[in-house]
């Protein structure tokens, strides 16, 4: 015979379990184009606000490039990529997400740093060290398309959510910022590949990389850049690695199998590029 308290305990346990399940699915988001479900426990509004803060701090501590020719190229390509990204979001049924993006593209003077990154909300930094590898606007479009794709797919949010669960037990972002501001901000920087001066970076998974390649190629093609240029760009990036890979490759692994996958993604993106030529 069941004791009187068991029914209440059962109901309580059931409610907690159901709530946990509902929260799990509420936190799931769908990646555009690939339709993969990903877990985001970080509120996007807070992620954007934190991203803006960290972006400003990086710029304050960095030397911005004064070569106007290079700066204008970054912003020209960035403008086309960001416009194409917004069109991509509209066509993916995510027009409401566009309001989260306040696009900004800056070039940081550091010839030793081969890197670029995009914070949530569209704050982008490119380091001069990557320009000899990108070579021209089309090569730069590959990199910017890839980084913007990470932001649109909210990969950084997913990585930071995982890191917060592992290191802070799922603590709410607002609470973590108050109680452990330094650690939280470091996780944010590491999650978005910013950490040139950090002791660690959170690596993108193969799934994230494949998604960023695929979405990035579609975005650059929509912007009027030839996605076929991605093959030579990644080949140059890999050759630059040597014994110690560039910062860009430390957070963006480029295995040999990537080239095979890129060819499939290029075939998908190419019609968008060809449409811009008509």
Sorted by where each begins, the domain ranges of the chain are 39-276
Tokens representing residue 110 in the block: 């550091």
Q: Per-residue confidence at 40, pLDDT binned at 50, 70, 90?
A: confident
Rounded distance, CA 119 to CA 21, Å? 30
The enclosing H or E element of 29 equals strand 28-30
> What are the residue numbers of the active site?
147
Q: Is 242 a residue whose pLDDT tops 60?
A: no
* pLDDT score for 239: 80
Mean pLDDT of 246-267: 72
Global pTM reads: 0.80
What is residue 165's three-state secondary structure? helix
Distances (CA, A) of 266 to 148, 151, 154, 227, 270: 17, 20, 22, 6, 6
């Amino acid at each position: 015979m069941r004791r009187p308290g068991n029914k209440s305990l059962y109901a309580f346990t059931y409610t907690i379990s159901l709530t946990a399940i509902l929260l799990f699915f509420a936190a799931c988001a769908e990646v555009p184009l690939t339709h993969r479900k990903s877990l985001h426990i970080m509120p996007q509004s807070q992620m954007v606000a934190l991203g803006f803060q960290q972006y400003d701090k990086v710029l304050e501590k960095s030397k911005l490039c004064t070569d106007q020719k290079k700066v204008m190229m970054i912003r020209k390509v960035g403008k086309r990529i960001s416009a194409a990204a917004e069109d991509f979001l509209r066509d993916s049924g995510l027009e409401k997400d566009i309001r989260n993006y306040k696009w900004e593209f800056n070039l940081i003077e550091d010839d030793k740093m081969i890197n670029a990154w995009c914070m949530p909300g569209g704050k982008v930094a490119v380091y001069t060290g990557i320009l000899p590898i990108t070579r021209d606007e089309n090569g730069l479009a590959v990199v910017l398309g890839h980084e913007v794709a990470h932001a649109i797919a909210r990969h950084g949010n997913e990585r930071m959510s995982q890191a917060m669960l592992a290191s802070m037990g799922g603590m709410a972002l607002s609470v973590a910022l108050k109680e452990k501001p330094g650690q939280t901000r470091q996780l944010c920087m590491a999650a978005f590949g910013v950490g040139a001066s950090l002791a660690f970076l959170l690596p993108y998974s193969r799934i994230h990389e494949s998604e960023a390649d695929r979405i990035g190629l579609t975005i650059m093609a929509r912007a009027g850049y030839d996605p076929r240029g991605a093959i030579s760009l990644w080949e140059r990036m890999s050759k630059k690695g040597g014994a110690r890979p560039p910062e860009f490759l430390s957070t963006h692994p480029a295995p040999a199998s990537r080239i095979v996958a890129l060819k499939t993604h290029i075939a998908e993106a190419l019609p968008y590029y060809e449409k811009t030529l008509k």
